[in-house]
Amino acid sequence: MKAYVDKDTCISCGLCPSICPEVFEMQDDGKAGICDSVGEGGNKNVVPEEAAESAKEAEEACPVAAISIE
């Protein structure tokens, strides 16, 4: 399972890092992004199993549907 944030769509509401801080963070550009720690070792954007549930919650909670989980 991989997580992505569409930065052009994100309105910086801050919900996703509050729901799933293991995967999402607010970045220097003021938009959400995927934490550097996610997908270390060449598996970029791969959501850790233990964070899968909350990552999906964040996807559903985003008011502008900027998050996709595949």
Of 37-45, 46-54, 57-65, the segment contacting ligand F3S by CB under 6 A is: 57-65
Both tokens of residue 19?
A: 């729901």
d(C-alpha 42, C-alpha 30), whole Å: 25
Nearest residue (CB) to ligand F3S, 17 versus 41: 17
Q: Mark the segment that binds ligand F3S (CB under 6 A) among 4-12, 40-48, 49-57.
A: 4-12
Distance between CA atoms of residues 6 and 64, nearest Å: 10
- Binder among 37, 60, 64, 68 for ligand F3S (CB under 6 A): 64
Count the alpha carbons within 13 Å of 22 in the hemisphere toward its beta carbon. Answer: 13
3-class state of residue 2 by DSSP: strand
Does 16 participate in binding ligand F3S (rule CB under 6 A)?
yes
Task: Please work out the total of residues on this chain that contact ligand F3S, with binding judged by CB under 6 A.
Answer: 14
